[in-house]
Amino acid sequence: MSDLNALSTSIRAAIAEAGDETALEAVRIAALGKKGSISALLATLGQMSPDERKEKGPAINGLKTEIAAAIEERRVALAAEALEKRLASEKVDVTLPLRPAPTATGRVHPVSQVIDEITAIFSDMGFAIAEGPDIETDYYNFTALNFPEGHPAREMHDTFFFQPDADGNRKLLRTHTSPVQVRVMKQTNEKVPAKWMSAAQEPPIRVVIPGRTYRNDSDQTHTPMFHQVEGLVIDKGSHIGQLRWVLEEFLKAFFEVESVKTRFRPSFFPFTEPSMEVDVQCDRSGNEVKIGEGNDWLEILGCGMVHPNVITNAGLDPDVYQGFAWGMGIDRLAMLKYGMPDLRAFFDADKRWLDHYGFRPFDLPTLFGGLSN
Ligand code: DAH
């Protein structure tokens, strides 16, 4: 028994000495662990005679229980001590400023901002917004838009084609937003997913179509994915005078200037006849391009009267309906208005760039409240 007493005394001394929970755990393992001193004593019970076991069994088990309790008691005391120490050493400075909320630091990408601005301006003029799929058929991207088979204009588009399907048809990433013109006009006789057809309508049609477009091209002003916005008006008496008015109203509102001069130059697009390119008056004398001032010109968009073949392809009668369309680069509009020099940075996801050029999420652009402030 004195052995047990001596063991008990030495373990209790070790428990009292353990200065933290780690040291205490080491004491526990040395006594009660698999190879611990008390566990070793318990293992000797098997070799004892029944009488001896009767006497020593309860004593050894009793010691085990007492030591376990003593360790637990010390553990609770040490934990409380440690907490006290932490509370005494750590301080919360309640005068520190709060971290700003995500709504204060998050930024809207300039492309999204410009799409919102364009949407606000054209909604105000009575246009609906339409969208179409990024993955298009050759038919909608080219054929329906009056690009003849094998015509070099198809190659000029630097198209990303997919592998041909079982029937030999190649889908593609749309090279412009113009295919959505046909999708919108064709809504009555073509099954397309309802979600693309939210703005589908019988003439009179007035839609703008913002979206992603793709061409195999990359430099300071080109990226393989970029954004366009398309406009389409179809009615019985739509004419170029209206086109010019709509575009000039848009340019004034978008660039937030009192007046702009535009210059229409003859051009060629398979889906319009006549086709024109539009230059906007600008001043390049300083560091930045100023729209609506000066004597210089800057090409800004393509437009024209919708080709009768396109109207026919869309299932409408070109002897009844005519209209005009235009297309322009959203990224380029953003660069011009907000002074970004390199388009590639738009898609780098660099937070510093976004902090600098981005917009506050709750400052929604409206014509009455201001587009960009
Ligand atoms: N789709 C043309 C392009 O990507 C832009 C364009 C020009 C669109 C004239 C039009 C248009 O609707 O009438 O280069």
Instruction: Write down the pLDDT at residue 190.
Output: 47
pLDDT given for residue 112 in this prediction: 96
Q: Is the CB of 178 under 6 A from ligand 1?
A: yes
Give the pair of three-digit tokens for residue 265.
């130059």
pLDDT digits (tens, 9 = 90+) for 157-173: 899 999 998 988 889 99
**What is the pLDDT, as a whole number, of residue 194?**
59
Q: How far is the CA of 273 from the centre of ligand 1 (A)?
A: 12
For ligand 1, say whether the CB of 176 is within 6 Å of any of its atoms. Answer: yes
Beta strand pairing call for 262-267 and 225-235: unpaired
Global pTM value: 0.73
Give me the residue label for tokens 């409380």.
Answer: 80
Which residues 6+ apart lie within 8 Å of 85 measured at CB?
A: none
CA distances for 337 relative to 75, 101, 121, 230, 292, angstroms:
68, 29, 15, 19, 12
Helical spans, DSSP H, in 187-307:
240-255
For residue 210 and ligand 1, the question of a CB distance below 6 A is answered with no
In the prediction, which pLDDT does 188 show? 42
Predicted local confidence at residue 76, as pLDDT: 95
- Which residues of the chain fall short of a pLDDT of 70? 1-2, 188-201, 373
CA-nearest residue, atom 5 of ligand 1: 327
Q: Whose CA is nearest to atom 3 of ligand 1?
A: 176
Which amino acid residue places its CA nearest to atom 12 of ligand 1? 326
Q: Which residues contact 32 (CB under 8 A, 6 or more apart)?
A: 38, 39, 64, 67, 68, 71
Residue 281, ligand 1, Cβ within 6 A: no
